[in-house]
Amino acid sequence: MSYIHETAIIYPNVIIEDDVHIGPYCVIGGEPDWKGKENEGKGVIIRSGTRLTGFVTIDSGAEGVTYIGQNCYIMKHTYIAHDVTLKDNVTISAGVSIGGLCTIGEGTNIGMNAAIHQKAKVPQGCMIGMGAVITKRTEMERYCKYAGVPAKFIGYNDRNHISQL
């Protein structure tokens, strides 16, 4: 059974699976921030086990659905734009902004107030540092850590990363 706080706003084009927690003042499925496509909301899917702690905004997709995978943990004041795909087991710290059409790989952890530019692809198992800026030109590989403005490679996220590549 899912929990949706009474102050949350959930638009009709949203599918929420079982065992999802949506905290206070979340807005899920509002029109996409894409000039000329504001009225083309294709919806949002939130998979089981995901938790939104509060003040999270997830826009409806414009070209397809905005997709939040299983067991994601999304902290306060996070903004997820249209057509974003979060794979399973993603953790997003407070204040993160993710631009439209981004893909965030499975098991990725994004630090507080990081910004991900639209159309960026963050590979599986990455760690994005607090306040980092991921641009479309940031070259990224799986199981690596990135920090800075713009973000740069700073090391490996897992001491067993070579066996997982």
4-59: per-residue pLDDT in tens?
999 999 999 999 999 999 999 999 999 998 888 877 789 999 999 999 999 999 99
| Answer CATH for 3-164 from 3.30.1330.60, 2.160.10.10, 3.30.70.3270, 2.60.120.560 | 2.160.10.10
**Domain limits, the chain:** 3-164
Say how many C-beta atoms besides its own lie within 10 A of residue 150's C-beta. 13
β-strand 27-30 against 79-80: which pairing, if any? unpaired
What separation, in Å, do the N-terminal and C-terminal C-alpha atoms of the chain show?
Answer: 36
Q: What is this structure's pTM? A: 0.94
pLDDT tens digit sequence for 150-163: 999 999 987 545 45
**pLDDT over 90 at 99, yes or no:** yes
pLDDT at res. 36: 84
Distance, CA of 87 to chain centre:
9
